[in-house]
Amino acid sequence: MSGPAALGGRRGSTGRLARSAVRGVRARTGGLTGLGWGMVVAAAVTLVVGRRYGWAELVVAACVLGVAVLVSAAMTVGRSHYAVDVDLADDAVTVGERAMGRIEVRNVGRRRLLPARIELPVGIGSASFALPSMAAGAVHEEVYAIPTTRRAVVVVGPVRSVRADPLGIARREVLWTDPVELYVHPVTVSLTGTRAGLLRDLEGQSTRSLSDDDMSFHALREYIPGDDRRSIHWRTSARTGTLMVRQFEDTRRTHTALAVSTDAEDYRHEDELELAVSTFASLGTHVIREGLEITALAGDQRLRTQTPRRLLDDCSALVAAPRAADAHDLSRVVARNAPSASMAVVMTGTVPTRADLRTSSSHLPPGLRTVFVQCDPGAELSLRTQGTLSVSTLGTVEDLPRLLRQLVTG
């Protein structure tokens, strides 16, 4: 077994094993490389010119080039009988965690196989491993590591075996596996104990506001003329000799709308976008774990919210693009996709001004509790609230619980 090979690529791990195992050949590609075809053309031209003008040197050169091409092509001929497994220890990691994988190659043929090279594409990069001569039934294993410095969906594979001549004139590739995906999730923080809806009485939790006609039973009190007789608690009334009615706490079921801008023009640099996505993912996964209603929007794209894992997977693939839905457009997107929302939180960068955000909020339904979070890495936490609109500056995702506490306490 060789040592780990580091591969470049763009926690919520489920612990599942991601595997691509194929015993048959998926695809073959082979032939001359660009250099090889150049040599063929050069050989043809020099041969024609040499024979036309009687230049023996050119004829010899053409023959040498032709022989080199033929020998190189012959070096790529032959069949390989491999069974190849590609394993990922986890199919999802958090930014900064190390993702480990393994390639196992087995000779399933009856004869010894000559040395070859296998290549493993990872994202936009690739790693190459030397495959030794293998007897029938022999197994060769390689372990590799994928640094995960940025959010991404990293495509690992397909594994291909490569036969080529030393000069790079001819090359033959055989694909042995299907690609597998590694999700690099954004960094998130735990919001346990924090009310994700940001209002004192949201997410279906009881408030201290008493009501006589809601669903959450609180206590009994004496009957007052005008009370709904359907609320009379007859058993207690018979026991005390006084009419008693049920009193309830006011409860509200909140629909939380989360949105993050995907317009590159809203962010001064990429770190602002990463902080915005981390904030968005932290809030979203908390609301989902609490079993509360949520609509998650990235630009004009609606993300999956059935489980925290699905939301994190979608967050891994988010990228900023020019002319995507910006902070101003997001208000319209929220109003269109979550018309029944009782609270909206919008993440954006530092380019939109507070005046821009106030103007954007005018496109949301009246009375909707709205919070704009401007993500500015390294900045001090700040919050300004006017009526149902709050505009905050967040410098690190670790400050998110403190921001929520400030919003909750008013």
* Of residues 84, 77, 76, the one with CA closest to residue 104: 84
Residue 296's identity, in one-letter code, is A
User: Where do the domains of the chain lie?
Assistant: 2-28+79-185, 207-251, 255-409
Pick the CATH number of 255-409 from 3.40.50.410, 3.30.300.30, 3.40.190.10, 3.40.50.1100: 3.40.50.410
pTM of the prediction?
A: 0.72
Give pLDDT tens digits for 94-136.
999 989 999 999 999 888 888 888 888 888 888 888 888 889 9
CA distance to 6, 100, 104, 266, per residue, from 143 (Å): 9, 7, 9, 41
Q: Which value, in Å, is the radius of gyration of the alpha carbons in the chain?
A: 32
Cβ–Cβ under 8 Å, residues 173 and 30: yes
Note down pLDDT in tens along the chain; length 410 residues: 443 333 333 333 333 344 444 444 444 556 788 898 999 999 999 999 998 888 988 999 999 999 998 988 887 776 778 888 888 999 999 999 989 999 999 999 888 888 888 888 888 888 888 888 889 999 999 998 888 899 999 999 898 888 777 888 888 878 888 899 999 999 999 987 655 444 333 334 444 444 444 444 456 788 888 777 777 888 888 888 888 887 654 444 678 999 999 999 999 999 999 999 999 999 999 999 988 889 999 988 999 999 999 999 999 999 988 876 666 788 899 999 998 888 899 999 999 999 999 998 888 888 888 999 999 999 999 999 888 899 999 999 999 999 988 887 76
Give pLDDT tens digits for 291-323.
888 999 998 899 999 999 999 999 999 998 887
Name the fold adopted by 2-28+79-185: Immunoglobulin-like (2.60.40)
Helix intervals (H) in 99-240: 234-240
